[in-house]
Amino acid sequence: MNNQELNEKINKMNNLVELHLHLDGALSINNCKKIAKIQNIDIPSDNEILKIMTVKDGCRDLNEFLTKFAFPMSLLQTSEGIKNAVKNLEDELIEQGIIYAEIRFAPQLHTKSGLNQEEVVISAIEGQNLSKLKSNLILCCMRGNNNHDENMETIRIAKKYLGKGVSAIDLAGAEASYKTANYEDIFRYAEELGIPYTIHAGEADGPSSVYDAIRFGSKRIGHGVRSIEDPNLVKIIAQKDITLEVCPTSNICTSVYNKIIDIPIKKFLDKGVKITINTDDPAVCDTRLKEELKLVANAFNLTYEDILKLQLNAIKASFASREVKEEVINMILKNII
């Protein structure tokens, strides 16, 4: 099967899974316009939104990349904005052929207009319930200064709504500036409460951050691509059956790698590491899941069966219930045509 034929088959896939997707990085222009109108917020023209939201060539690093979230975050500070943003996003994902998604956001970043963290989460769950997409929310704790109390509150809220729309917690933010090792107590607390978690590591920071995430007990790593710099770490990841949530275009946008072929996707697969392919921030990176799958397939000469395996990796590593996993696995297998 040549690349054109493979791309056509991927385009026809309609039972896809997305595990690493940030709400504020996934607001399409149409979604921005819809939620701005509901909130009576004046926003720039479409072209101007693209300029302020989308990463262009020359982005220096993750810290510069994170500046692109200021505009979408300004639209996600009210209950109506959050609820409708989640609903609209999930409807868009359905149109893109996605049948299960995990959407992550940091409740503490949505409190600038008076909402508390619990109200933020309730609003997001309400948006979930308005869409037919099978989904779960992942609540992000944030790296930073003087926000330990806010992070602990995020965990308590995650516990309260676990299984009611929320499935896990995460740690996000400026990874190199705020080391993963400094957040051990967050994950010990989550472990005590029985809350699953994934951790951003091995992207802006190197293998040491992944070692810390594994030491905390995480079975999923957000990005994790720089694990390849330590052969022993790669062996540990494979042996412990840890899944990496790889986001190829995002890694280019944040200048972790210069081009797709530099990302160690094939190396991980050859060493028995389970990976998934995700968009991370599709609006900021101007991508979609099918585009990511085609990029990876073409760059690394993957087969259609390889792409299906990546999708099966995703649902098996997801925080979905056993019933949802079984249903989605059966639907993915229908892609065998």
pLDDT digits (tens, 9 = 90+) for 184-222: 999 999 999 999 999 999 999 999 999 999 999 999 999
106 burial (CB, 10 Å; 0-12 / 13-18 / 19+) is buried
Calpha distance 204→182 (Å, rounded):
16
Please state, rounded to an integer, the average pLDDT across all residues of the chain.
Answer: 95
Long-range CB contacts (within 8 A, 24+) of 185-188: 186/141, 186/151, 186/152, 186/155, 187/216, 187/217, 187/218, 188/216
Active site residues: 203
Asked if residue 259 lies in contact with residue 251, where contact means CB atoms within 8 angstroms, the answer is: no
Beta bridge partners of 171: 141
pLDDT band at 58 (very low <50, low <70, confident <90, very high): low
Calpha distance 102→85 (Å, rounded):
14
Calpha distance 161→157 (Å, rounded):
6
211 closest CA partner among 192, 239, 234, 188? 234
Residue 57 has pLDDT above 90, yes or no: no
Q: What is the pLDDT of residue 336?
A: 63
Calpha distance 8→13 (Å, rounded):
9
Asked if residue 324 lies in contact with residue 7, where contact means CB atoms within 8 angstroms, the answer is: no
Calpha distance 304→310 (Å, rounded):
10
pLDDT 10s digits, 237-246: 999 999 999 9
Once rounded to an integer, what is the mean pLDDT over residues 39-45? 93
Using DSSP's 3-state secondary structure scheme, residue 67 falls into helix
Q: What is the pLDDT of residue 88?
A: 98
User: Is pTM, for the whole model, over 0.85?
Assistant: yes
pLDDT 10s digits, 149-189: 999 999 999 999 999 999 999 999 999 999 999 999 999 99
Using DSSP's 3-state secondary structure scheme, residue 16 falls into strand
**Total Cβ atoms within 10 A of residue 165:** 18
Q: What are phi and psi of 276, to 5 degrees?
A: -125, 155
Which residues neighbour 140 within 8 Å (Cβ) at sequence distance 6 or greater?
A: 104, 105, 106, 154, 169, 170, 171, 172, 173
Yes or no: is domain 3-333 CATH 3.20.20.140?
Answer: yes
Domain boundaries, given as residue ranges, for the chain: 3-333
pLDDT 10s digits, 125-139: 999 999 999 999 999
Tokens 């395996």 sit on residue: 309
Give the strand order in the sheet containing 199-201: 199-201, 220-223, 243-246, 274-277
